[in-house]
Chains A and B, each alone.
Chain A
C-alpha cells in the first residue's frame, strides 16, 4: 500500500546479530539476477524469500540483502516500508488476512472479522500468544464473487459464514492450497543447519541454478 504502513515502522533492531541469511538464501537471491537488468530489481523477490525463510525481515536481514544487491540499506528500508506484505518483526506462523473492501463488507465481512477476533482473542495487527496466528485486514483480495473471504497464508477461504469461522480456524491444514505449487518464491532447502557464509557464490553456478529453476 501506501504512505502509512502499520507494523513495518519498527524493525527488530538486531544490528549486532551474527549473519542471519544462510548460504542457501543468498544463492537463491543471486539466482534471480539474470532475470533483471539491475540488481535492485531483485529486491522484492529477495524480500519474499527472506521473509519465507526467517518469518520476518529484521534490520540485520535488510542490511545483508542490501549488501547482496549492492544498494544502500536505506533503500531496502524505503521499499519495505511501502508494502503491506512484509513484516519487520516476528509474525505468527499463519497470517490471516481478512478482506474489508466493499463487496465483503456488504456480505458480512465485518462480522466475520469480529468472529475471528473473538475466536483468537486478538485484535488487528496482533499475534496470538502461541505464535500461531497473526491477524491483519487488507483491501480487496479480488475474491468478491465469494464474499466475504479471507486468506490464511496462501489459501483463500471463500463465502465464509459466521458458523464456519471456528471450524476453519481449527483446521490444521487451513493454509494449504490444493494445487501444483511453484517453489520459485519459497524459502530454499537448507543443506546444513545453522551454517552460513560470507562469500557470494560464483556467477556460473547461479546461472546453472537459474536454468534449473526454469
Chain B
C-alpha cells in the first residue's frame, strides 16, 4: 500500500492554515462553490448518500440519510454543528478547528445548502477557548469575504452561521441535549420521537452533524462519491481521524482509512509508536471510553464501523483510543470511569442517575481495598438495568456507561477477584466517610 495522503488534516503544519487566504490558495471553498453553483440540494444529498458518509460523532449513522428525514414541506430548517467533543479521550474535532476552521465552515455551507437551512449554529464546548477564537475569527473572515451571509457564490442561497458556546456538560453532546442547551435550557436530552429532523431546535426541523462529518463534505463534493468509496474498506469508507493517548510514545490525532487494527494504532510507527518505558498493553478503550474495552489479546480488532461489535463493544464511537499499561491498577481505571458517568449523568432518568452513582460507589469501594466478591456481580446487575438498550432511558449515556464498566468487570474479572482476595482487612470502616 502506498503512502496515505491526508485529506482532513492536510493543513496541519501549513503556515497560517487558519486564515482564509491560505485556505483558498490551497483550493479551499471549491467544493462549496461547486455544490452551490452546479448542483441542486437534492443532488448534493444524493452524492453524500452514495458516498455512505457515516456520522463521525459516534453512532455512525449515514449523514445523507439523516438529511432525508427532514419533512418535504418545511419552511425553516436549522443546522447544528456538534462541537461539544467531551468524550474522553477524544480530541479530533479540536485538531480540526485549530488547524482548519475554514474546512468546517465549507462543510457547514454544503450541509446547509443540502438541507436548505437558513441558520447554522456551531455549538462549542466552553473549554474550547482557543478553538472558539479560531472559529469565530474564521466566521468573521468568511462573512467579510461574502462566503457567508446573503447570496453565497452568487447562487441565491443565504446562510447565517453563529458560534454558540456551551457551559460545561458532557450530555450536551447528545443531539437533543445540544438542542435544549442551545435553547437556553438545561442540557436534558429529549424523548424521541419526535426526532430532531421533524421537531428540533425551536421546534423546527433540525439536523445535527458532527464537526468531523461536515469536514468530509467539501472533499466528497469536489472529488466525488466514488473517490470516497475507494478509501478504506466497504461499509466504512472515507478518511477517518483516530486519536491515541495514554502511555504511548507518540500520542496524537492521526488520519487514515479505516483499514487499520487497534494494535497498529498503538504500535505502528505511523501512529502511536508503541508503549513508553517498554511497558505492555493491559487494556485499550478504542472508541472513546463509552464504547467498551479491549483486553491485550483483542488488539487485532479493526478500527472500522462494524468490527467492534464482534468484540462486545458498542461501536466505533469516536475512534479515540486510550491505552492502559500493565503497571496500572485496573481498579483505579474502573473508579475513574465510573466517576465520569456518575458526575455527567443529567439526572432525568432515575436508573441512570442512581445507577451510575451506585456503580461509582462500588468502584470506590473496590479501589479503596474494601471490595467484596459479590460486588462484581452487583456491578453487573446494576449495569444491566439501565440504558436505551433495555428500553429504560431517554438517551444513550447509560449505555455508554454500561459498556466500558461492565466490560472491565467481565474482561478483567480475575484481576479484580485477585485484588479483593489480597486486600488488607479493616478498610471497610474508613468507607463510610468517603462514600457520603
Contact = CB atoms under 8 A, between A and B. Distances in A.
Interface of A: 1-4, 35-38, 40-45, 47-48, 69, 71, 75, 78-79, 82-86, 97, 100-103, 105-107, 138-147, 151, 153-156, 177, 179-182, 184-185, 214
Interface of B: 85-91, 93-94, 125-130, 132-134, 136-137, 140, 143, 160, 162-171, 181-187, 201-202, 204, 243, 245-247, 251-253, 285, 289, 320, 322, 324-325, 328, 332-333, 336-337, 340, 343-348, 353
Contact of A106 (B128, B247, B320): B247
A139 B290 CA distance: 14
B163 A139 contact: no
A2 to B, nearest CB: 5
Contacts, number: 187
A182 B337 CA distance: 35
B247 A82 contact: no
25 contacts: A1-B168, A1-B343, A2-B171, A2-B347, A3-B353, A37-B201, A38-B184, A40-B183, A44-B184, A45-B165, A47-B167, A82-B186, A85-B126, A97-B127, A102-B88, A102-B89, A139-B170, A144-B89, A145-B251, A146-B251, A151-B127, A151-B129, A177-B129, A177-B130, A181-B133
A179 B134 CA distance: 8
Classify the interface of chain B: helix, strand, loop or mixed.
mixed
B127 A142 contact: yes
A131 B206 CA distance: 44
A192 B433 CA distance: 52
Given A144-B243, A144-B322, A106 B328 contact: yes
A83 B183 CA distance: 14
B163 to A, nearest CB: 7
Nearest to A40: B184
Given A101-B89, A139-B86, A139-B170, A42 B184 contact: yes
Contacts of B344: 1-2, 139
A48, A97, A102, A146 interface centre (most CB from chain B within 10 Å): A102
A185 B251 contact: no
Contacts of A102: 88-89, 246, 285, 289, 322, 333, 336-337, 340
A104 to B, nearest CB: 9
A18 B182 CA distance: 30
Nearest to B276: A107
Contact of A142 (B90, B246, B328, B336): B90
B418 to A, nearest CB: 21
B169, B182, B245, B347 interface centre (most CB from chain A within 10 Å): B245
B435 to A, nearest CB: 15
Contacts of B140: 182, 214
B183 A41 contact: yes
Contacts of A75: 185
A144 B353 contact: no
Nearest to B186: A82
Given A83-B167, A101-B88, A151-B129, A139 B340 contact: yes
Contacts of B253: 145
A71 B183 CA distance: 12
Nearest to B185: A79
Contact of B182 (A3, A41, A147, A182): A41
A168 to B, nearest CB: 16
A106 B322 contact: yes
A184 B43 CA distance: 36
Given A69-B184, A106-B246, 16 more contacts: A4-B343, A36-B202, A37-B204, A44-B165, A44-B166, A44-B184, A97-B127, A103-B89, A107-B247, A142-B128, A144-B246, A155-B129, A156-B129, A156-B130, A184-B136, A214-B143
A47 B51 CA distance: 42
Contact of A78 (B90, B93, B134, B186): B186
A147 B254 CA distance: 17
Nearest to A147: B245
B164 A44 contact: yes
A145 B252 contact: yes
A184 B165 CA distance: 10
A82 B126 CA distance: 14
Contacts of B170: 1-2, 139
Contacts of B347: 2-4
Contacts of B181: 44
Contact of A101 (B164, B167, B247, B340): B340
A185 B170 CA distance: 21
Contacts of A141: 127
Nearest to B320: A144
A145 to B, nearest CB: 4
Leading 10 A-B pairs by shortest Cβ distance: A3-B347, A43-B184, A83-B167, A182-B136, A144-B89, A140-B88, A84-B168, A144-B245, A154-B129, A82-B186
B252 A38 contact: no
Contacts of A155: 129-130
A4 B134 CA distance: 32
B339 to A, nearest CB: 8
A85 B185 CA distance: 14
A155 B340 CA distance: 23
A78 B180 CA distance: 13
